[in-house]
Amino acid sequence: MDPIRLGWLGGAREPWQQRTLDLLRLEPGVETVSLPSEASMSPSNPLGLEVVLVFGDSPDEIPASILPNLPLGVWSLELDPRLVDVGRALDDEPTIGAALVRRWCDRDRILRDTLVDGEFLVRRHSWSKTRRRVLEQVQTWPALAIRRLRTNGHRTGGLVAALPREVGSGGSLPVGSAGAGQLWQLRRRELSGLWRRVGQEFVEQDWNVGVIASSIEHWLGPHLAEAAHREDGGIASILPPQSTRWLPRQGRNLSLADPFVLIHDGRSVVLVESLSHQHGRGVIAAVSGIDEPAVSVSRTVLRSWSHLSYPYCFEHEGTVWCVPEMHEAGRVMLLRADRFPDRWIEDSVLLEGVPVVDPTLFQHEGSWWMLCGRSDWDDWTHLFAWSAPSLHGPWTPHPWNPLRSDVRSTRPAGRPFRIGDRLYRPTQDCSQTYGGAISINEIVELTATSYREVPRLRIVPDPKGPYPDGVHTINSAGSITVIDGKRHFVTSRRLWLQLWRQPQRPQARTAMFDLGPDLDRIGSGVGG
């Protein structure tokens, strides 16, 4: 492994800057050198630096004469201008961007490109919280860029994890002192945000499952084909078909979400998360025959002391498998159907000690892949990957983790699918609200040392439909596609449940799951 000598300029005056240096020093073979000023940087580069990281106000003032002798160039972390001006209003856009930018010399030309970038959720009415959350993420980027560079095996180029973005309009990260007027504006906005959060305690989410009598290829194929040939780079938005059939509600205290459909023994079976608002804990339920006139009663098929959701099920080598989300348990467990969908066997633990969110498994070019979020990171924003030679492992983390950081199109939203020779991945758009829309991304490159995907299409909720406030899962089997939908309604019940709910704590037990066919039924039925 080649050593890398990194000089840093501008002083580590803030905690995030010191953390950035600490993470760089943890990278094998990286040596950091403090540079007191631009004047200390001689064009001959006597310190033998390969890259300079700038924390100062003006990275472009680094003498251009030194760039030919810096193999990796000059790096700077840049924020959206709204986070550089203290107390600036953040209400105009739901997300805010940041980038690790490189200035480097290619022969006689000075170039700028983006090494790592991200799009983060704005904490509206709270400038300080938004800035703090963004800086917690970007402090990892210089070390991440070093890892990506090493896995690509060359010194320049090839570091970009997503499509290039325009840079240069943003500001440098250090923030000057605020005047009394700025601080008053900042406090007033944050007080307004406090009242807004109090109001949210009276807004409840109700999710339900919708059935579309069409395969995902037939429904989305024409839209994705058109998107692949768009010259303006825009992303079209479509609504669920008006013919979408929503299952009857399960009662005041139950929501159904995260539907996964399989065709088994000639019948369509959907596994869903069934969430009790009263207890605040999800179980996995099954609904059979959703394409038939009389839909079978939903029933619980998996329960655990850990919250269960996202029942990712698939067939492989004649067996039905399920990998539910159980991030509270800090593991990813593979379950094997003994009698689908009612009886399951704990087969193996794929990952231990990792709080994975929405584990999504699939095969690609001879390897198994798991794309997911992590609850110990911002799971709305960051994408992680593991790979393995077989379903049972061993599973190896991707050296580029996190692969992407974008609250608009990162968190998994269902099984990847192919149309022709193109591989697509459904993702959640949480920029406006949790599960607000679905972004269909095309995976352009996925290897052990690289990753790139491009958003192609958005599925947004029908504002005139029964569930106008969100859609965040899509799956298909045969000629059936299932989605879920969200509606908001105002009630004081949520606040009372938060006050009086008895939390369910893990109990001393030998089994992770309650498995078997004799679990309680969860509703009065979803038919007719």
What residues contact 144, with CB distance under 8 A and at least 6 apart?
116, 400, 402
Residue 198, classified by CB atoms within 10 Å of its CB into exposed (0-12), middle (13-18) or buried (19+), is exposed
Q: At residue 401, does pLDDT exceed 70? A: yes
Task: Give percent of the chain above pLDDT 70.
Answer: 79
Higher-pLDDT residue of 423 and 231 is: 423
CB atoms within 10 A of CB 160: 18
Among 60-64, 475-479, 504-508, the least confident range:
504-508
pLDDT given for residue 498 in this prediction? 55
Q: What is the pLDDT of residue 173?
A: 42
- Tokens 């989305």 — which residue? 220
The string of pLDDT tens digits covering residues 116-157 is 999 999 887 778 888 888 999 999 999 999 999 888 754 443
pLDDT at 368: 98
- Crossing angle of helices 127-138 and 15-26, rounded to 10°: 10
Q: How far apart are CA 481 and CA 443, in angstroms?
A: 21
DSSP string, 250-268: --TTEEEEEEEEEEETTEE
Closest by CA position to 255, among listed 234, 233, 285: 285
Whether 508 shows a pLDDT value over 60: the answer reads no
Predicted confidence (pLDDT) at residue 506 exceeds the cutoff of 70: no
Rounded Cα gap, residues 157 and 72, in angstroms: 9
Contact call for residues 390 and 348 (beta carbons, < 8 A): no
pLDDT tier at 503, thresholds 50, 70, 90: low
Which has more confidence, 182 or 287? 287
pLDDT exceeds cutoff 90 at 174: no
Total number of residues shown for the chain: 528
**Residue whose C-alpha is closest to residue 270's, from 251, 246, 294, 289:** 289
What's the N-to-C CA distance of the chain in angstroms?
Answer: 65
Distance CA 109, CA 105 (A): 6
pTM of the model: 0.86
Supply 51's token pair.
């890259």
Q: Kindly report the backbone phi and psi dihedral angles of residue 319, in degrees, each rounded to the nearest multiple of 5, phi listed first.
A: -120, 145
Distance CA 490, CA 469 (A): 13
